[in-house]
Amino acid sequence: MHRITLGKTGIPVSRIALGCMRMAGIGEADAHRLIRTAMEHGITFFDHADIYGGGESERLFAKAAGMSPAIREKMILQSKCGICKGYFDFSKKHILSSVDGILDRLQTDYLDVLLLHRPDTLMEPEEVAEAFSQLKSSGKVRYFGVSNQNMLQMELLQKYLDEPLVANQLQFGIMHTGMIDFGLHVNMKDEASVNHDLGILEYCRLHDITIQAWSPFQYGFFEGVFLDNDKFPGLNQTMDALAEKYGISKTALAVAWISRHPAKIQTVVGTTNAQRLADICTCDNVVISREDWYEIYRAAGNILP
C-alpha cells in the first residue's frame, strides 16, 4: 500500500487506517481476521479511542492481535482521549490517567500517536503541554495531535507545545465536504461560501499536519451511509458508472476520491468486515481523473460557481 508521511515526523504510514471504534461489537475470531487482513494489505495504522466500546475495543484489539513485541513493531497505534460522559476533559490529570488506561488495554508500553478527542473549551493549554511533555519524556507517547479542531484552536495549543502537532482527525468524504466547499465559493454569498472551519484544510497543508478523514462513507452526523442509499440516486448512479470505469467497487471509489486530493489525506475506515476491508484496499493504485473527481463532487449535490 502507498505510504504518506505523518505530519512532520518523517514516519511513513499507510494512507488507509483501520478505525477500531466498532471492534467491541464483534468476536475475537472476527477481530483477528480483520487485523490480519489489514496487515496483509499493507494497513499498519490502527486508530483507537478510550471511549470506543467503553474501552473494550482496545482490549479486544490487543487480544485478537496477540500483542507481543514482534507484533507491536509492525503497527502504528493511535488513540484518543478527552471525551467523558456529558463533558470534555483536557486536564493534565485526565490525559495522564487516560493514557495509562489505553496502554494497559492495548497491552503496549507506548502509543505512537495520541489525539485530543474533540475540543474542550475549558482547556488550559499550559496544562496540556505539561501532560504531553511528561508523556513524551516517559516514553509513553511519541507524537501528538488533535481531532475536530479548527486552526485557531490548534494555534492556541501549539503556542505552548515544544513540538508540532502531527495530525487533525476531521470528518471528510463525498457527502461531507465543508472544508473544501467554501474554498470553491470565494467571494460568493451562497451557503457553500460560509467558512465553518477557518480554512482548516489549507492550514494543515501549510503546517504539514496530516488530515485523517473519519466516517468517509457517512452523510450528516452519523445519519447513515450514502452508498446504495435511495436518498441519493444521482450520486449512486454516477458512482456506479465510475466504479465500473476504474474496475473497483463504489466503496473503494469513495476512498480513492479522498486519496486523490493533493492534501495527502489519510482515510480512516471503520468497517469490521474483513472482506469489505480487502475490497477497500483495491483503490490503492487508482488515481481518479480531475474530471471524474469533480463529477462525483457535483453528483453529491454540490454546485460549482
Q: Burial level of 248, CB count in 10 A (0-12/13-18/19+)? A: buried
Phi, then psi, of 264 in degrees rounded to 5: 55, 55
DSSP lists the bridge partners of residue 115 as 80, 145
CA angle 211, 214, 219 (to 5 degrees): 125
Cα–Cα distances in Å, from 246 out to 172, 217, 249? 22, 19, 9
Active site residue 52: yes
Q: Which residue has the cell 450520486?
A: 235
Residue type, 187: N
Phi, then psi, of 167 in degrees rounded to 5: -155, 155
List, by residue number, the catalytic residues: 52
